[in-house]
Structure formats: structure tokens, C-alpha cells
Amino acid sequence: MNVGIIGAGTMGSGIAQVASTAGCTVKLFDLNQSALDKAKAALEKILTRLIEKGRVDADEKTRIQSNISYVNTLKELSDSNVTIEAIVENIEVKKNVFIELERYVSEDCIIASNTSSLSIASIAASLQKPERCVGIHFFNPAPLMKLVEVVPAIQTSKEVLEKAKQTLLDWKKVVAVAKDTPGFIVNRVARPFYGESLRIYEEGIADFATIDYSLKTIGKFRMGPFELMDFIGNDVNYTVTETVFTAFYFDPRYKPSFTQKRFAEAGYLGRKSGKGFYDYSEGALNAEP
Ligand code: NAI
């Protein structure tokens, strides 16, 4: 199967690894050459670590790497059977990419979006063949997280839904089908989790390290809410909350936080920028920024 992935950031590079590990031929596209270089270097590092842990051998590493080509133009995705978009969470930017993509791919190519919160129906509406569009929502990090939400729009054909589900099962994922509603299942439940944690911090009830520690201890979560926001990226996480809040007609349960907005504006994005709620620079003792 030929898989085209649009956007070589956190999610796109992870999804490329999942598909190539499953034996697909993958083309990973990004407008930004440095994102492609970073994705390639990150995969090398991950696979080297997996060899050290005895999870893959050298032949498998070579196979996974050679299954992926890194491309600079959308046109190069023309032979894809499935495309998965993982670019910036902005409906207009996504729509423009889909309109262009549809010019190149074959009639029966599935066009999927990894959006966390945008309406699949509105993305599908930008296509000549909206019935080929479906949400395929991976979690971060895509190679490790088993669950994938599959989200049919009202326009999605049954055949496309079934093909998307089967593809993910072939990629050894667990599928949850959810209706096309803001945040689907997991991100909807997660909004009040982040939001209430941010409000506790803003009200001075506890610092974020104490909130993280408390929830990890009691709930057996691997990461606390602030560690998780830093991991996801405060820019991405804030945008998802804002989108869900707006889409639910400003329901206060999903109200975004000024603290997180300012962090995103300041470039305190989390791990990817070296600083968020915690400090990830070398030698840092996780001091508050
Ligand atoms: P990211 O910021 O790490 O990567 C986005 C990539 O898209 C960048 O490399 C950028 O150069 C590229 N890009 C932007 N516009 C483009 C265009 N017009 N054409 C080609 N490439 C373009 O973002 P991330 O975190 O990977 O998120 C991508 C999508 O996945 C978003 O829709 C997000 O909501 C969703 N998502 C994110 C998760 C996360 O934990 N970060 C989890 C699940 C979904």
C-alpha cells in the first residue's frame, strides 16, 4: 500500500513510522525542508534505540527507513492509496492543501485528516469527492499509542470507513469509531482535565508540579496534565481547546486558559521548544520559566 503523509512534524513523522513498520511505502511531505530533515534524524535515533533494546534488528531498521521517502511537493503523493494530513490545526490551511491534493491523487484514494478538533464534514466539503474523506486521529506518540479514533463525516462512504478501519487494524492499532463532533472522544474528555488543572494553578491553589504529582500518584497517569501539555505542545493544545470551546457554543466546561495562551505566544511550547511549564534545556532542574 502507498501511503502519503502531509506534514512531517510530531504526528506526521510518527504516523510515517507506523505505516512503514507495517510494510507500506510511505511518502512524507512537508513544505519545510528542516521538518523533513528533523523527521529523518528522529527516526534514525528512535530505531537505533529500538535496536539497543532488542526490539528491531538491523535489517528491519533498514527496511523501515528505506520504505520512507521525504518529499518537497504535494504532487509526489499522486500514487497514494491513502493520504493522512497532519499539518497545522487551521481549517483554511487544511482545506487549501486538500483542494490541491485532490488534483493529483486517483479517484479511489482515501483522504484522511489527523485533526484533533476540526469538523471532518467541513474538511470533506472542500473536496470534489467528499465521500472519500475521513478523520483518522492518532495519539502522540503515534508509534506507541495503540488507540486511533476513526471519524466518519456525514459525507463519508461506508466503503471508505471500512477501508480506513481495516488499514489501521493492519497497522496493529486499536480502532474507536466516533461521531464527527468537536474533540471526538478522548480530546473532549481531556479538555476539562487540562482546563481544571490550569485553573487550579491560576487560582494559586497549587503549583503545576504539585498538580502533576498528585494526579499521577492517585490516577496512575504516566504524565500529569502539565507534563502532557508540554509534551503535546502548548500551541497545539491551546488551539484544540479554543476550537472545542467555540464549536460547543462557548460551553464553559471547555473554556481555554490565558496562562496557556501566553505560554504559546511567548514560545514556551514545551518539549519541542526546550521550555514550557517545565524547562527542558540541558542541565535544567525543571525550574518554572
Ligand atoms: P507540528 O507543528 O509538529 O507539525 C506540523 C507540520 O506541518 C510542520 O512540520 C509544518 O512545517 C507542516 N506544515 C504546515 N503547513 C503545511 C502545509 N501547508 N503543507 C505541508 N506541510 C505543512 O504539529 P503536530 O503536533 O504534528 O500536529 C499536526 C496535526 O495533528 C494537527 O491537526 C493536530 O491538531 C493533530 N494532532 C496533534 C497531536 C499532538 O499531540 N501534537 C495529537 C493528535 C493530533
Would you say the CB of residue 232 lies under 6 angstroms from ligand 1? yes
Nearest-atom index, ligand 1, CA of 116: 34
Of 260, 276, 280, give the one whose Cα is nearest residue 268: 276
ipTM over 0.90: yes
Pairing of strands 110-113, 68-71: unpaired
Q: Which long-range contacts (CB under 8 A, 24 or more apart) does 276-279 make?
A: 276/229, 276/230, 276/234, 277/208, 277/226, 277/227, 277/229, 277/230, 277/234, 278/226, 278/227, 278/230
Which CATH number is 2-177 given? 3.40.50.720
Is 137 among the residues known to form the active site? yes
Domain extent listing, the chain: 2-177, 186-273
Per-residue pLDDT of the chain (289 residues), as tens digits, is 999 999 999 999 999 999 999 999 999 999 999 999 999 999 999 999 999 999 999 999 999 999 999 999 999 999 999 999 999 989 999 999 999 999 999 999 999 999 988 899 999 999 999 999 999 999 989 999 999 999 999 999 999 999 999 999 999 999 999 999 999 999 999 999 999 999 999 999 999 999 999 999 998 899 999 999 999 999 999 999 999 999 999 999 999 999 999 999 999 999 999 999 999 987 766 554 4
Considering the candidates 85, 102, 149, 227, report the single residue annotated as catalytic. Answer: 149
The response to whether residue 135 sits with its C-beta less than 6 Å from ligand 1 reads no
| Residue of 278, 210, 272, 263 lying closest to 286 (CA atoms) | 278
102 is catalytic: no
The atom of ligand 1 lying closest to the CA of 32 is: 11
Q: Which residues make beta-bridge pairs with 177?
A: 150
CATH number of 186-273: 1.10.1040.50
Q: Which of 137, 197, 234, 237 is catalytic?
A: 137
